[in-house]
């Protein structure tokens, strides 16, 4: 077995002050640095994904003529209309400046196709196209994934579900995640969904001690 740490969307726009700020989102960066240190000590690779949208992305409420944070449909898929966020090359799209990026072996961008959203680090929401992440992990012989980051109820959840479907033994570092919670309880439900799909939920201290 070989474990890798997968960090989800630890970007300025999902942290306080950002365009799609998640409450307490920057707490995940502190947690990520601790998880990274444990992985470096154990010789386990660390990878990250990065939400990376063109300015004309149709998930942005302003581009679809919809109200922010309401629910609609895009390409036949349910779609939350988001504030414009993580626009390619913008400061908001950068990984958080406090994140220990030297230890990250590879960053996989997602969400470049303006016509479909892409929550998972592996596939777009329609499972039509995939990123290079799965190929990279397989080439390294990775069989187990530890996943944490932003946001619990969107990109973390869909990355975990795809990881399980792709056959990775998957744990979620729960206190290394924070959620959008458009509806109260969305993040709690997301953790339940991930667990029911086969993920193991662990705390950061359990991950560090393993």
Residues serving a catalytic function are: 9, 110, 155
How far is the first Cα of the chain from the last one, in angstroms, to the nearest whole number?
14
Give CA–CA dist 106/133, Å, rounded. 9
Give CA–CA dist 103/189, Å, rounded. 32
Q: Which residue has the tokens 């070989």?
A: 2
* Residue ranges in 31-70 that form contacts with Zn ion under rule CB under 5 A: 51
* Residue ranges in 1-20 that form contacts with ligand VGL under rule CB under 6 A: 9, 14
Give CA–CA dist 96/104, Å, rounded. 13
Using rule CB under 6 A, residue 51 touches ligand VGL: yes
The least distance separating ligand VGL from the CB of residue 155, rounded to whole angstroms, comes to: 3
Tell me which of ligand VGL, Zn ion, none is bound by residue 155, counting a contact when its beta carbon lies within the kind-specific cut-off of 5 to 8 angstroms.
ligand VGL
Using rule CB under 5 A, residue 9 touches Zn ion: no
Q: Is 197 helix (H, G, I), strand (E, B) or coil?
A: coil
Instruction: Give the nearer residue to Zn ion in terms of CB position, either 104 or 110.
Output: 110
Q: What residues line the site for ligand VGL (CB under 6 A)?
A: 9, 14, 51, 82, 119, 150-151, 154-155
């Amino acid at each position: 077995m070989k474990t890798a740490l997968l960090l989800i969307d630890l970007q300025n726009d999902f942290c306080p002050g950002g365009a799609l700020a998640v409450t307490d989102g920057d707490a995940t960066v502190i947690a990520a640095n601790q998880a990274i240190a444990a992985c470096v000590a154990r010789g386990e690779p660390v990878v990250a994904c990065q939400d990376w949208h063109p300015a004309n992305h149709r998930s942005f409420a302003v581009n679809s003529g919809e109200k922010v944070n309401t629910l609609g449909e895009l390409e036949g898929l349910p779609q939350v209309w988001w504030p414009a966020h993580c626009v390619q090359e913008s400061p908001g799209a950068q990984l958080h400046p406090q994140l220990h990026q030297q230890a990250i072996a590879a960053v996989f961008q997602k969400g470049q196709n303006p016509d479909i959203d892409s929550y998972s680090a592996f596939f777009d929401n329609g499972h039509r196209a995939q990123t290079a992440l799965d190929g990279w992990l397989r080439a390294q012989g990775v069989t187990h994934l530890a996943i944490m980051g932003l946001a619990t109820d969107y990109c973390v959840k869909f990355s975990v579900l795809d990881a399980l479907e792709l056959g990775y033994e998957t744990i979620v570092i729960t206190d290394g995640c924070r959620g959008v919670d458009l509806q109260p309880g969305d993040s709690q439900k997301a953790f339940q969904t991930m667990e029911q799909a086969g993920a193991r939920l662990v705390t950061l201290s359990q991950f560090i001690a393993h």
